[in-house]
Amino acid sequence: MGFELKSLIGKKVGQASNLFPNIGFNNRALSLLLTFTMLSLPSFAQKNSTKMNDKKIVIYQLLPRLFGNKNNTNIPYGTIEQNGSGKFNDITDKALDGLKELHVNYVWYTGALAHASLTDYSKYGIKVDDADVVKGRAGSPYAVRDYYDVDPDLAVDVKNRMKEFEALVKRTHKKDLKVIIDFIPNHVARSYHSYAKPKNVIDFGEKDDVTKTFSVQNDFYYIPGQKFLVPQHEPKKTPISALQDGLFDENPAKATGNNVFAAQPKYEDWYETIKLNYGVDYQNGEKQYFDPIPPVWTKMRDILIFWAKKDVDGFRCDMAEMVPIAFWNWVIPQVKAVNADIIFIGEAYNPEVYRQYLTEGKFDYLYDKVGLYDGLKKLIRNEPTADVASIKYVWQKESAGFGDHMLRFLENHDEERIASAGFAGKPELALPAMVVSATLGAGPVMIYFGQEVGEQGRGAEGYGGDDNRTTIFDYWGIPSHQKWMNNGLFDGQKLNDAQQNLRAYYQQLLKVTTQSDAVLHGEIYEVPHTGNMNNRMYAFIRYTGKQRLLIVVNFDRAQTLEANIEIPDEILKVKSSSPVTDLLTDIKLNIPAGMSIPVKLSPVSAQVIEF
C-alpha cells in the first residue's frame, strides 16, 4: 500500500545453456519412477474477467520519480535539487521498448497522483505541506493531496504537468502497452485540497459537520473538541527536523487512515493520512449506512471516471479491504461502462474474503501476498519451516476455483528486495520462485523495476531507513536500475554479466508464459513427492489440447532433483507429442517423446519442459 507494511539488454537465453552454471540447467537423465496425483484447477466463471489479447498479463511496476532519475548523489533526506527526480518525460520510447523486451504488457505508474511532499511548489499555487505530517522529503505516494492532479515532481514544466502525463499515456499506448495507476480510496493526506478539480466538484470535508464524530453525510470522521496532536516518538535528528515544530493545525482532529480514532495517533500509524467515511460507523459496531449513497461514494466514482476518460487502462486499488465491498460492487460496473476493458486490481491480505471481493466486489484480480508470496519467500530464504506444501495449498485450497484472478509477484514497493541482505542476498536464489509465480495460474504476474537486474535496495535513504526496500518516501537514485538505464539510453550496457544474465532469464521466462496456451488456459496436475523429491522440490504439469508443459523447481540449496517422470495417459492423449524442449533455454533435450521425461535438476534451479 505504500506505508511501512514491515510485516537485463541481456544475452539471448537460447544461445547458451550455461547462463547460470551454478544453479543448474543440467538435463542428464536418471530413472526414478514418479506417479501423479491428478488435481484439476477448477475454473472460476466471472463476467468481468479481462485478458489482454488473450495473453497472460505481465505488469511492470515503476515509480516515475525513481525510474527516470539519472542522479546518483544519494544524500539521505536530500532535496529534489540534490538527489534529483525522474519525470514522466524520462519514460521514453526507448525505455518502453526495454520493457517490451521483457514481454511486459501493462505498466503500473506508481505515485503518479499528486501527494503530500516537502518540496515547495507555492509559485504554482500549491500550498507547502507541513513536515509534521509528511513522511520523508518526497512524501508517500499514498498520502494523496489532490485526486484530480498529477505530482509536480514528475513534470519538466510544472504548469503543464497533466499534459506531460497524458503524453506518457499516449506514448505507452503507441507501444501497445497499457497503463495502470493507483487508486487510493481509504484515506487522503491531512493536507488534502484539490487545486485541479473540475468545476462544481465539492472537496472532501468541505460540507462536513465537524461537531459530529460520525455522520453518513460527512466525508471524514472527527474527534470533536480535541485538536490533532503530532505523534510522539523518540527524537532522531534528521535534515528535516528543523521543519518539524509539532504544531500541525487540525481542529477538531480527524480519524487517522488505519482506523485510529484518537486525536494523537502513534508514530507507527498512518498519521499523515485521514480516514474517509464510506458510511460505516466503526465506533458503533461497524454499522453500515449505505442507503442513501454516502457522498464519498459518488466523489470516488467521479474521480475514477475522470481518470478512465484519460485513457487509463487499470487501477491498482490500495488497501481495498478497508473499503466496503458494497462500494466496489456499486462503483466498478459504472467505471466499466466508460471502458469495459479497464481492470481493477485489489491490494488484499485476508484470504477469507478473497472470493467475496472477486464475486460480489467485482474485482478482476487480487494480490496473492498472504499465500503464494509468503510461502515462496520462506523457500527462497531457505527458512527451516519452508515447504513446497505452501504452493500446493494456495492453488488447491486457498484460491481454488479463482486462482486465475490472483496477481503473483516477488517484489513490489512494500516488500523487501530479493537481492537485499535481509531477504536472499542473491537474486538468482529467487528464480525457481519466479517460475512458479509466472506459471502456476493464468492471472497476472508482476515485476518491480530493478528486480530483473538484481537491485538490492541498499542504504538509509531517509524516512525509509535501511530496510531492504527501495524508498518510496525520498528522492533517490536506484543503482542497478541506473546501470540498465545508462543515462537514458536504456540499453543495459553498464550492467555486469550476472545482471545481463538475470535480465535475460526474466525475458525468456516471461516470453514463455505470455506465449503459452497451457499457462493461460491449461489444467494443472501435481507431481507428488516421490523418490528423492523433498519438501524443497515441486513439479506440476499445465496442459491443454494445444500444449503440454512440465514445470519442475528445486529450491534445495544442496541436493539435486533426479527423476524419471512418467506422464499419465490422461495427459498424453490430449495432444500429439512435441519435441521435448526446455523452454527456459530453448534446448532440445533429445528425449524420445513418450510415457516419461527424465530430469536432473541442480540445486536452486527450474525447468519448463514442453513435451
Instruction: Tell me the domains of the chain and their CATH numbers.
Output: 52-110+157-175+412-515 (no CATH), 520-610 (2.60.40.1180)
User: What is the average pLDDT score of the chain?
Assistant: 91
Q: Specify the range with the lowest mean pLDDT, choosing from 22-26, 72-76, 186-190, 393-397.
A: 22-26
Say which residue, 16 or 86, is predicted with more confidence.
86
Predicted pLDDT of residue 465? 92
pLDDT digits (tens, 9 = 90+) for 193-203: 999 999 999 99
The tally of CA atoms less than 13 A away on the side-chain side of residue 224 is 8
pLDDT digits (tens, 9 = 90+) for 145-156: 999 999 999 999
Predicted pLDDT of residue 4? 37
The candidate with the shortest Cα–Cα distance to 297, out of 362, 218, 199, 197, is 218
Does the structure show a pLDDT above 90 at 436?
yes
Q: What percent of the chain has pLDDT over 90?
A: 86
Predicted pLDDT of residue 1? 58
Does the structure show a pLDDT above 80 at 21?
no
Q: List own/partner pairs for 330-334 with CB under 8 A and 24 or more apart.
A: 330/293, 330/297, 330/301, 331/297, 331/300, 331/301, 331/304, 332/48, 332/361, 332/362, 332/363, 333/362, 334/301, 334/305
Does the structure show a pLDDT above 70 at 608?
yes
Average confidence (pLDDT) over 55-64: 97
Task: Extract the C-alpha cell encoding 519.
Answer: 499457462
Say which residue, 122 or 531, is predicted with more confidence.
122
Does the structure show a pLDDT above 80 at 31?
no
Predicted pLDDT of residue 576? 79
pLDDT digits (tens, 9 = 90+) for 391-403: 999 999 999 999 9
**220 CB neighbour count, 10 Å cutoff:** 21
Predicted pLDDT of residue 3? 36
Nearest-angstrom CA–CA distance, 518 and 523: 7
The tally of CA atoms less than 13 A away on the side-chain side of residue 377 is 20
Q: Specify the range with the lowest mean pLDDT, choosing from 7-11, 235-239, 351-355, 361-365.
A: 7-11
Does the structure show a pLDDT above 50 at 79?
yes
* Cα maximum dimension of the chain: 80
Asked if 225 contacts 263 with a C-beta cutoff of 8 angstroms, the reply is no
pLDDT digits (tens, 9 = 90+) for 471-514: 999 999 999 999 999 999 999 999 999 999 999 999 999 999 99
Does the structure show a pLDDT above 80 at 235?
no
**Distance, C-alpha 515 to centroid of its chain:** 22
pLDDT digits (tens, 9 = 90+) for 131-189: 999 999 999 999 999 999 999 999 999 999 999 999 999 999 999 999 999 999 999 99
Does the structure show a pLDDT above 70 at 23?
no
Predicted pLDDT of residue 529? 82
- The DSSP secondary structure of 504-518, one letter per residue, reads HHHHHHHHHHHT-HH
Predicted pLDDT of residue 499? 98
pLDDT digits (tens, 9 = 90+) for 545-558: 999 999 999 999 99
Q: What percent of the chain has pLDDT over 70?
A: 91
Does the structure show a pLDDT above 80 at 48?
no
Nearest-angstrom CA–CA distance, 533 and 33: 11
Predicted pLDDT of residue 593? 63
Say which residue, 37 or 238, is predicted with more confidence.
238
pLDDT digits (tens, 9 = 90+) for 324-363: 999 999 999 999 999 999 999 999 999 999 999 999 999 9
Cα–Cα distances in angstroms (integers) from residue 372 to residues 236, 261, 331, 380, 529, in the given order: 37, 33, 29, 12, 19
